[in-house]
Structure 1
Amino acid sequence: MTRTDNLSFAPDFDRALEFFQAQENYAVSPLIELKGPGGLNVYAKNETQRMGLGAFKALGAPYAVARVLEAVWQEKTGEILSAARMGDADIRDFAATQTFVCASAGNHGMGVAAGAQAMGAKARIHLAKSVPEGFGDRLRALGAEVVRSGDVYDESVAAAIADAETTGATLLADGTWPGYTDIPKLVMEGYCVIAEEMRQQFQASGRWPTHVYLQAGVGGLAAAMAHMIRLNWAEQPELIVVEPNAAACLKTSHLAGKPTRGEGPESNMGRLDCKEPSIVAWDVLERCDVRYETLAEEEGKAAAEAVTALGIATTPSGAAGYAALCKQTTEQGNAKETRPLVIISEGLA
């Protein structure tokens, strides 16, 4: 694919950090050390308590909701909203007329629902039949309307797109495809806060990681982290993008030289079980000098159990980076100078 302007990613991470620092429930997530395979010390960025939603996605969709509402208000009135204005009655009355729609297999829907609720807007989340009803209940508790659409995630995505086209609601997806890139870039801009928090934490300690493991579904988190690391980290690590064997859409795209679907059965790494890559994320990763690792289902499950036993309750998706580290250590041995970093991206629901 020829690079085009709509694939460019130049996030205003200072704006994102300023936005979250103004939120009462924002706190820098912990960067801790865990004992890894062979006694290796592993840096772990623990996202399992992030802003009450228990996952890194709390930084994506809520930020995008606010940015979209600001843009629509400015187009409507000419006013550039300040942070102080966002909670005013007239802004919330306006937000109540706006609906955000998405499909979700997990945490993105929670982010959209929470972001809409915080601003006074509406949210409608499309779930495939395979998504547990308990997740639907969590979405409803955040004020979202839940619609069951299709047997699998791809079908719920198509339903959300059709919903937005029919009703005029705002589609807030975390993936990108031809003709739809701008709003998901805002989601990724919110994720950049994680990398900037870590940069400041490593800068303060003076000890930087040598390897960073980044789990990927459509690739938004991995691409945002890779972009920021290559942009402004003082010491450059090796970057490893981690996917399930059953949904290796980014590795498949890398090998094909263009965004390409990654086929496979349903994965127990549910939040990473995405067969279509984000075209923006793929483009970012292609310029960030990353390599790819894929996981068998049992490797993700074993890593979740190991990390949970170390005191951070998580899922196979949340522990995927740790799983790839364990796999690499088993295959290549434990180099004493290695200082790996993993992101524990979500807690147990």
Structure 2
Amino acid sequence: MFLLNQHPDHRTLLDPVDAETLGVAAAGTVERFLSHRRNHAATPLHLLPGLAAELGIGELAVKDEGQRLGLGSFKALGGAYAVMLLVLEEASKRLGRPVDVADLHAPEVKAVAGGMTFACATDGNHGRSVAQGAELVGARAVIFVHGGVSDERVAAIARFGAEMRRVAGTYDDSVLEASRVAKEQGWTVVSDTSWPGYERIPGLVMQGYTVIVREALQQLDRPPTHVFVQAGVGGIAAALAAHLALALGEQRPIFTVVDPARAACIFETAKAGRPVKVAHAEPTVMAMLECYEPSPIAWRVLSRVADAFMTVEDADAVAVMNRLARPSAGDPAIVAGESGGAGLAGLRRAAADPAMRAALRLDASSRVLVVNTEGATDPGRYEALVGLAPDAVHSSNPTSTRQGGF
């Protein structure tokens, strides 16, 4: 399924709050926070000339978040950043003076953090980020997961010292339960989705993601003409589309949001012109994108700065995992998890459809950026779908392929 953005707000100015949260200065703040993380490094940007030729486009660049902060996912940027910022704000209030990120490990700040508990619901990656952020600052984390989250992903979160709680039902059910319990206990919810009266913290989570675009624009010689980014509740797509619009203005790329066909809450929202909750269907292999209700603030942004919406099937996502693991024509091998390559799956589907190509003005001169949002965050699942262990794919690249392009 495919549609162009027909919303009356399309290409109008962002809400001032969103422009401030997701703009150039905000991304600079995130980058400054990251400079205090011991394992921080800009993630690689890979050029895939072989695949670009297959797709009939000029150039293809993949921003590889599978190596982000040791967590293997772009979500390492959001939850942990929000936790750190919230601790600093609370410490500033209690200590009666400004507290900067450089003071995060000071004893008096650690004492404040030690009395704080952060809670969230997760499909896996966001919870790891919140748990890691809590561990970094010395706070407590309680993470709620639904029945579809694998034991391997639960263990990956628990290793940061988080308390894990299973919830019957879907991701949306776990969001409600995390909110209910946190309210009863006086905990702080760090959610990557918003709801009425709860917008600032999801905005901070989205703010963390803006550094992906900031880095990519520094790594590229020229800005992209097209971007395809996957969506769950819409947070990463909104953050990236907004930052590109704010940083590049009229030179911004054509931005396409890609949903799993089995959990297409952003696509159906775009079709309806307002946030809608979609019915639960058969689970999608793209587990990190299995969300049935969009984040209202993400939709507020996407209604203005996204240009098109589309869906891909599970088979498309698995095909991308395998294509990236077994490259041709000199392309580097890339480990993409089940959800990681969904944006590239959207590009492949669009490139093969003459009507979509025309609607998106996709041609032999196009410079396309996609984001591999996760590596093999569930290595067993990855090997079952690809037939290769993640380490075997990584080892096929003898040197780093990080480079500029366009």
CA–CA distance in structure 2, aligned partners of residues 7 and 230 of structure 1:
15
Q: Which among 364, 373, 392 is matched to residue 336 of structure 1?
A: 364
* Structure 1 residue 110 displacement after superposition: 0.4
Q: Give the corresponding residue for 2:31.
A: 17
| Paired residue secondary structure (1:179) | coil
* Structure 1 residue 84 displacement after superposition: 2.4
CA–CA distance in structure 2, aligned partners of residues 247 and 326 of structure 1:
19
Gaps in structure 2 of 5+ consecutive residues: 1-6, 328-332, 378-406
| Paired residue secondary structure (2:340) | coil
* Structure 1 residue 83 displacement after superposition: 2.4
Give the 5 Å matches for 1:1-349. Answer: 8-11=18-21, 12-34=26-48, 35-36=50-51, 38-40=53-55, 41-202=59-220, 205=221, 207-233=222-248, 235-265=251-281, 266-310=283-327, 311-332=333-354, 335-349=363-377
- Farther off after superposition, 113-122 or 247-256: 247-256
Q: TM-score, normalised by structure 2?
A: 0.81
CA–CA distance in structure 2, aligned partners of residues 200 and 86 of structure 1:
28
Query: 1:148–1:264: structure 2 CA closer, same or farther, 3 Å change rule?
Result: closer
| Paired residue secondary structure (1:32) | strand
- Farther off after superposition, 75-84 or 293-302: 75-84
Check the 8 A contact 1:9/1:280 in 2, yes or no.
Answer: no
CA–CA distance in structure 2, aligned partners of residues 239 and 316 of structure 1:
22
Check the 8 A contact 1:172/1:183 in 2, yes or no.
Answer: yes
Moved over 4 A (4+): 1-7
Aligned residues: 346
CA–CA distance in structure 2, aligned partners of residues 283 and 58 of structure 1:
24
Q: CA RMSD in A?
A: 2.0
What is the aligned-residue identity percentage? 36
List per-residue Cα deviations over 1:98-119 (Å, max 9, x = no partner).
1100111120000000000011
| Paired residue secondary structure (1:100) | strand
* Structure 1 residue 193 displacement after superposition: 0.7
Check the 8 A contact 1:110/1:139 in 2, yes or no.
Answer: yes
Residue 117 of structure 1 aligns with an amino acid whose one-letter code is E
Query: 1:2–1:164: structure 2 CA closer, same or farther, 3 Å change rule?
Result: farther
Higher relative contact order (CA 8 A, sep 6+): 2
Gaps in structure 1 of 5+ consecutive residues: none
